[in-house]
Structure 1
Amino acid sequence: MKHGLLWIARALGLFALCSWLTRRELRILCYHGIWDGPGHYGNYLFMSPGKFRSRLAFLQDWGARVLPLPVALERLAQGRLPARAVVITIDDGWASTVAHMVPALEQAGFPATLYVTSYYAHNQRPVLNVALAYALSRWAAGERDSTLLPLPGLGQLNCPAGDAIALHRATDQVIEHASTLADDDARQAFLCSVISATGLAQDPVWGGPAFRLASRDQLREASAKGIDLQLHTHRHRTTCNGTSCLAQELADNRSWLTGVGEGPFEHFCYPSGQYQASDWEVLRRQGIESATTTEIGLCRRGENPYALPRILDGESLSELELEAELSGFLTMLRRISRR
């Protein structure tokens, strides 16, 4: 039904009308990594290589003016933004981003901003929560005699096949338990035990870079190819034990990125899109010029630079839905609904 209504809206010229009405607004696209393992996993977290390449081709056909983030924000503030102005942003800094996205962007001639979280990039170990979530999702989707999964330190978790709520609950329990372990060595050992318990030790994904962030050398190579490396915290968090640690996270992140990217490092992406108004003063004191969220929409002149909306693109998002977002049609509907 949604696709039918969008098709009718486009056929009636509403996409074109909204594109004209929002012609001086900025479209900031949000991507994460590329899934090059078996099957597919992640939707908004990972996209297939072919889908990402087709997105870049669509942007070219749509007439997008893809600009570097600092240039686009400056022109937005000055009211000099060209029609259909687009910025491409990529979160986290997965190894698959450098392996697949960077060459595709280079071939298309598109600039992009890569927000790098540096702890796992430095340690070069699997990102724990993502790897754990994948292991449990694969186990829940497989054929098995029991719904109970025995795990060290947690007993038997109940995760019936097809029960998304139970899977989500079990995943939260496993990730929370891992966070209480003594150090990273203990957490990685726990990941190995979960992989063994779920019977996924032979899954080829574990031998590759699927859950690893790009190394310092790989990121330096991406920077040399024109990718703008920017801030995403060191440990992918803004609070610790209920207290803000944003300033320290930014300092650690900036220190690690110095010598990897060209800088200056003054643009930021909130980890998991989570933020609060009290963060804005911290960002100002740290010399941050902009901060992007995961709230969906277009950026207008005068927008709070520390709460910029984006358009989240995912594997399951159709080209028609993406066009509805880029044209401003869905943003206009949201604005009308709020009023």
Structure 2
Amino acid sequence: MKQLILGLARIIGLFKLAQWLTRDRLRILAYHGIWEGDGHFGNFLFMKPATFESRMRFLNEWGATVLPLSKALELLSEKRLPEKAVVITIDDGWQSSCKHMSEILCAAGYPATLYVSSYYADKQSPVFDVALAYLFQLAEESKQAVCIQLNAAGTTSKAPQVVTLSQLQDYARSLDSDEQRQSLLAAVAESIGESYESLCASRTFHLANSSELASMSSRGIDLQLHTHRHRTRSATESSLASEISENRQWLEQLTSKPLVHFCYPSGLNEPEDWPVLKELGIESATTTDSGLARESSNIYCLPRILDGENLSNLELEAEMSGFLELVRQVISFSRLTNRSSP
């Protein structure tokens, strides 16, 4: 039904009207990694190389003006943004982003910002939470139960027990080191007949290493901040300042450009984060909230258009034209009106 409605809206000219009405707004596209394995995993986390390449062709055919993030924000603040202005952002720094996205972007001649989380880039082990979710997906597809022995961090099990993904995620938070988490990941892999060694060798769930990231920087990809451990809070306390400081210190070895742009891990942010960012010299911060950025937008809470493997070309065009942005505004206004009605 959604595809039919969007198709009709496009045919009768509502996409073009929305594009004109939102002509002074900035479209910030958000990507993550490239999926190199069989099948697919993670709609908005990974996409196939061919899908990303087709998105770059769409931008060209649509007539987008793709700008570096800093320049786009400068023009936005000065109300001099060209129509169809677009910024391409890529989160996390997956090795597959370096391997595939950088080549496609260079071929298209498009600048991009890569927000890098540095802990796993430095460790060069699989990103635990994502690799764990993948193994559980494999278990579900093969109708297997994950059955392992838990014997660390004060929790013991003399015999293997069936565990759920959420149970292991909670359990992993009690572990003291990445080495312990990687041992847990190996146990999960073994329990469903998978090889942890093969998982590591494939680097499917690895972030790019320092050499790969430096290579991307030398090719014009702007490396920016995404925290060190992909978090802004430790337990109940904010660790935003220390996370950004560690992240910045690590990235300064790889680029000479100012590290002043930030992306919230998983898009999670609170108003109390904004003064911290300002004090750290951060000039912009992006979220995973859907929308287009305006001149009046909070520079520390910028919305983006999150692109994914399962997003159709029509849905992407609806977002890029501003049609879905206007639909969201109408719905929001309607809800506010209903609440204020007696």
What TM-score, normalized to structure 1? 0.93
String of CA shifts for 1:37-70, please: whole Å, max 9, x gaps: 1211111000000000000001100011000000
Partners in 1 of 2:120 and 2:299 — Cα distance?
Answer: 28
Q: What is the count of residue pairs matched by the alignment?
A: 325
1:157 pairs with 2:184: no
1:53 pairs with 2:53: yes
Other structure's SS at 2:146 match: strand
Aligned twin of 2:16 = 16
Contact 1:223/1:262, CA 8 A, preserved across alignment: no
Q: In structure 2, give the amino acid aligned to 1:332.
A: L
Offset of residue 207 of structure 1: 2.4
Partners in 2 of 1:149 and 1:282 — Cα distance?
Answer: 42
Of 206, 210, 218, which aligns to 1:216?
210
1:176 pairs with 2:173: no
Q: In structure 1, give the amino acid aligned to 2:280.
A: Q
1:247 pairs with 2:246: no
Aligned twin of 2:298 = 304
Of 268, 275, 283, which aligns to 1:289?
283
Q: In structure 2, give the amino acid aligned to 1:54.
A: S
Partners in 1 of 2:206 and 2:58 — Cα distance?
Answer: 29
Aligned twin of 2:325 = 331
Partners in 1 of 2:198 and 2:179 — Cα distance?
Answer: 22
What TM-score, normalized to structure 2? 0.93
Flag structure 2 segments of 5+ consecutive residues without an equivalent: 151-156, 334-342
Partners in 2 of 1:334 and 1:8 — Cα distance?
Answer: 18
Other structure's SS at 1:187 match: helix
Q: In structure 2, give the amino acid aligned to 1:149.
A: V
Q: In structure 1, give the amino acid aligned to 2:243.
A: E
Partners in 2 of 1:189 and 1:299 — Cα distance?
Answer: 43
Contact 2:189/2:196, CA 8 A, preserved across alignment: no
Flag structure 1 segments of 5+ consecutive residues without an equivalent: 159-169
Distance 1:261 1:78, change over 3 A: same
Aligned twin of 1:259 = 253
Q: In structure 1, give the amino acid aligned to 2:5.
A: L
Other structure's SS at 1:17 match: helix
Work out the percentage of aligned pairs sharing the same amino acid.
51
Aligned twin of 2:153 = none
Offset of residue 206 of structure 1: 4.3
Partners in 1 of 2:214 and 2:265 — Cα distance?
Answer: 22
Of 304, 315, 326, which aligns to 1:321?
315
Partners in 1 of 2:184 and 2:196 — Cα distance?
Answer: 17
Contact 2:186/2:196, CA 8 A, preserved across alignment: no
String of CA shifts for 1:245-296, please: whole Å, max 9, x gaps: 1000010000000020232000000000100000001000000000000000
Contact 1:229/1:262, CA 8 A, preserved across alignment: no
Other structure's SS at 2:54 match: helix
